[in-house]
Amino acid sequence: MKADKGKLSAWDLDLRVRARLIGAGQLDAKAIERHLSELPDLESQSESLNYEQPALSGNGGDE
């Protein structure tokens, strides 16, 4: 399996293809879980950015 050979690539972590890679046996779900659990918690170093998102507001930007 890919994940056992070394570090996971951005391709391996891409949510759009991850299920397909796991289903094909090219990627181990446990390797993904292990990778995510090893990531540092950087929440204290983050900054919130508030942007209006017209697609989510339901008004379509016609104000």
Confidence of residue 62 (pLDDT cuts 50, 70, 90): low
Task: Say what the pLDDT of residue 11 is.
Answer: 84
Query: Does the pLDDT of residue 63 top 80, yes or no?
Result: no
| 46, two tokens | 């983050």
Query: Does the pLDDT of residue 2 top 60, yes or no?
Result: no
Cβ(12)–Cβ(3) below 8 Å: yes
Task: Say what the pLDDT of residue 7 is.
Answer: 80
Q: Compute the average pLDDT of residues 38-53.
A: 92
| 3, two tokens | 């994940």
Non-local (6+) Cβ contacts of 8 within 8 A are 2, 31, 32, 35
Among 23, 21, 28, CA closest to 6: 28
